[in-house]
Amino acid sequence: MTPASFNHRRKRLVMNALPSKFPARRRFLAELSGGAAAALGAGLLGSGKALGDDVRIPGFEQARDYESDKPWEPVADRRIRVGIVGYGVCRFGASFGFQDHPNVDIVAVSDLIPERCRALAQAVRCETTYPSLEELVKDDAIEAVFVATDAPSHARHCLEVLRHGKHVAIAVPAFWGEELDEADRLLEAVKTSGLNYMMFETSCYHAGLYAMRQIYRAGGFGEIVYSEGEYYHYCPTPIDSFRDWRVGAPPLWYPTHSTAYHIGVTDGSYTEVSCMGMPSIVKHLMPENNRYKNPFGTEIALFRASEGGMSRMTCSWDTPGHSGEKGRVRGQLGSMDDMNYQGLAKEFPPLRRPPLPPTMAAGGHGGSHGPLCNEFVLSILESRRPWIDIATSLNMTAPGVVAHRSALKDGELMKIPQYKFE
């Protein structure tokens, strides 16, 4: 479908949303599409400021309880020398607890914006700063870098870190939009370097998803027949972002909070997709108002999974209410939503998340930050591959990019590239 016919449909849609026989609703929607929406967005999301305690984003909640099946035991005395880059609106550079891990020394930090760089240094109690990632990676004392920069820079920044012989952990997604060639280069760089790469997908350490993964591996689902994942985050005005990368972004270019609810459970991949979208009535999600020419605020994708099952994944920026990052699976032997398993399995492996050092908080996104950091650190200490390694990261990210292509062609069935790291 052409952008012009999208425009035509969108106008019809807005008209339909304001039927004259419902004057109160008409007034409410008219107000929302104007100043009230902006005010609501600013109140919820905080225009022009970083996300402090006063600003709430769905999914950012701290863990209320975090329990493990066994106590923390150190695996080594060694301290890994870590650099951290990026202290943007989400303040991610400081929020995964590297500074509180007993096996980490933070050697240096960086952000292009000097006041953010200083604030990050203070937050992680580090004295050395560099003006950019490109300068920081030249520091020979650093052996691993956590990159929390803007999504469009992720692949390039990870390649730069790996090129300098350092392990890398990255905020989601693994790469941005149509950069599929960078995904290939990333896979190749990780394979040839022998260094660790891990993507910090927060859904993976949601208590429910983590437990689903353990049950799947123990055979308690058989194969997954059907799974669902969703990231619902109403953005009437976009959250601030470096060089405005978030403005009008295609929803499923940000797929990993959802796709984790299948790929994070099985370690498999998606092979093909048909996806649909609906022209958005939100201003920054209209194609003439964003650099991506993206007309959608919600995309719904139906995937075929490598094990043979089906999966419905979505991301929605333009539907208010019932927000969050959620998912569930249905298998040949059982099904599960959150921590609630129903099915034929009678015995279960340990389901609770791994123990954390007593100095660390489980942290935000439902207690996923601490265990993500800990898994990356342990993988280096134990000279093994981390969970959510390069293949899994690309298999969570690329399907969303192809899904958006499919949505632009009104649901055409499309093949998805496969990433393997044997």
Ligand X SMILES: NC(=O)c1ccc[n+]([C@@H]2O[C@H](COP(=O)([O-])OP(=O)(O)OC[C@H]3O[C@@H](n4cnc5c(N)ncnc54)[C@H](O)[C@@H]3O)[C@@H](O)[C@H]2O)c1
Q: Which is nearer to ligand X, 147 or 211 (CB)?
A: 147
Q: Would you tell me which residues interact with ligand X (CB under 6 A)?
A: 59, 85-90, 92, 110-113, 116, 132-134, 148-151, 153, 171-172, 202, 241-242, 365
Please state the closest distance from residue 150 (CB atom) to ligand X, in A.
4
Please state the closest distance from residue 149 (CB atom) to ligand X, in A.
4
Secondary structure string (H, E, C) spanning the chain: CCHHHHHHHHHHHHHHCCCCCCHHHHHHHHHHHCHHHHHHHHHHHCCCCCCCCCCCCCCCCCCCCCCCCCCCCCCCCCCEEEEEECCCCCCHHHCCCHHHCCCEEEEEEECCCHHHHHHHHHHCCCCCEECCHHHHCCCCCCCEEEECCCHHHHHHHHHHHHHCCCEEEECCCCCCCCCHHHHHHHHHHHHHHCCCEEECCHHHHCHHHHHHHHHHHCCCCCCEEEEEEEEECCCCCCCCCHHHCCCCCCHHHCCHHHHHHHHHHHCCCEEEEEEEEEECCCHHHCHHHCCCCCCEEEEEEEEEECCCCEEEEEEECCCCCCCEEEEEEEECCEEEECCEEEECCCCCCCCCCCCCCCCCCCCHHHHCHHHHHHHHHHHHHCCCCCCCCHHHHHHHHHHHHHHHHHHHCCCCCEECCCCCCC
Please state the closest distance from residue 55 (CB atom) to ligand X, in A.
12
Please state the closest distance from residue 154 (CB atom) to ligand X, in A.
6
In the bound complex, which residue of the shown chain has the CB atom lying closest to ligand X?
88
Q: Which is nearer to ligand X, 109 or 278 (CB)?
A: 109
Q: Which is nearer to ligand X, 74 or 131 (CB)?
A: 131
Q: Which is nearer to ligand X, 116 or 328 (CB)?
A: 116
Please state the closest distance from residue 110 (CB atom) to ligand X, in A.
5
Q: Which is nearer to ligand X, 172 or 394 (CB)?
A: 172
Please state the closest distance from residue 388 (CB atom) to ligand X, in A.
11
Please state the closest distance from residue 87 (CB atom) to ligand X, in A.
6
Please state the closest distance from residue 117 (CB atom) to ligand X, in A.
8
Q: Which is nearer to ligand X, 108 or 377 (CB)?
A: 108
Q: Which is nearer to ligand X, 151 or 224 (CB)?
A: 151
Q: Which is nearer to ligand X, 10 or 206 (CB)?
A: 206
